[in-house]
Amino acid sequence: MGVSTTDPASDPAAGVRVVTAAYPPVNALPVQGWYDLARAVRAAGADPEVRCVVLAAEGRGFNAGVDIKELQRDGDGGPGGPRTALLGANRACAEAFAAVYECEVPVVAAVGGFCLGGGIGLVGNADAIVAADDAVFGLPELDRGALGAATHLARLVPPHLMRALYYTSATVTAGELHGHGSVWRVVPRAELAAAALELAGEIAGKDGTLIRLAKAAINGIDPVDVRRSYRFEQGFTFEAALGGAGDRVRGTFGRGSGREGGT
């Protein structure tokens, strides 16, 4: 269990690093897991031999957000409490999302199964997405007593669809996102890793200096400051927590479920 980095070490993947998260049963990451993921992505991007990073996951789904059970175990309930776990989760998610966006080289997200909550923050900040045909994407934040990652969902779907998805906690399929142009390719689950490496290998075939300059240039013309936008959203998560609404809704979570979370 944890975050690992591997080198495929084979053409066409020369210059590619694969950062993989594995947090069974559903890849809902604890606070430390988000920080570990951020460090792994930044380290891979800083390696002069690397020209593309693949962000992957093991298990049933790509990412189910934060580990809400960790928040519940830390006893942050009640207005005026220390909010240690909530502070940790917010800061750690912000760091992981920023690490993907600010990675010195392009990041390809390889998404299979569910991509929820914090998973949207990761893929929304990635440079390209390759998805399995069983992949679904969504933000269950309003059902988890939190707010956030609309910033990143807005990079995947048109504005009105983003709002409807956010308000309803509904999901969209990989095929639907492919239709919106935000998913590069949809493949059978068994072919996901190979398809992601194929795209990463094509990117990594470019000159290393130029690909880094290209990443910096594209980020520089982005119309939205994703770090600031997401941190603005997180302020409303704290408002919900301090007002009691966040704890009230979060307290209903987990009855008959696994560790699925949000952001």
Which CATH number fits the domain that encloses residue 182?
Answer: 3.90.226.10
| pLDDT score recorded for residue 259 | 42
Which of 11-20, 158-167, 180-189 shows the lowest per-residue confidence on average (mean pLDDT)?
Answer: 11-20
Q: What are the b/e assignments for 176-214, b being 16+ CB within 10 Å?
A: bbbeeebbbbbbeeeebbebbbbbbbebbebeeeebbeb
In a domain, 26, yes or no: yes
The pLDDT value recorded for residue 57 is 98
Residue 261 lies in a domain: no
User: For the chain, how many structural domains are there in total?
Assistant: 1
| pLDDT top residue among 87 and 215 | 215
Quote the tokens at residue 74. 């830390």
Is the pLDDT at 187 greater than 50? The verdict is yes
pLDDT range class, residue 9, cuts 50, 70, 90:
low
Residue 260 resides in a domain: no
In a domain, 100, yes or no: yes
Looking at residue 146, its pLDDT comes to 87
Residue 19 binned pLDDT confidence (cut-offs 50, 70, 90): very high
Which of 49-58, 115-124, 173-182, 249-258 comes out lowest in average pLDDT?
249-258
Judged against a pLDDT cut of 80, whether residue 8 lies above it is answered with yes
Identify the band that residue 258 occupies on the pLDDT scale cut at 50, 70 and 90.
very low
What are the beta bridge partners of residue 17? 53
Q: What is the mean pLDDT of the chain?
A: 91
In whole angstroms, give the CA distance from residue 140 to residue 146. Answer: 9
**Does 82 map to a domain?**
yes
In angstroms, what CA-CA distances link 177 with 44, 47, 64, 69, 137? 27, 31, 18, 30, 9
On whether residue 54 sits in a domain, the answer given is: yes
Mean pLDDT of 230-235: 94
What is the reported pTM? 0.92
Q: Is residue 263 part of a domain?
A: no
What pLDDT is stored for residue 113 in this prediction?
A: 98
**What are the residues whose beta carbons fall under 8 Å from the beta carbon of 108, sequence distance 6 or more?**
52, 53, 54, 55, 126, 127, 128, 129, 130, 196, 199, 200, 203
Structural domain that includes position 131: 2-195+208-250
**pLDDT band at residue 130 under the 50/70/90 scheme:** very high
Residue 201 domain-assigned (yes or no) = no
Could you tell me which residue, 231 or 67, shows the higher pLDDT? Answer: 231
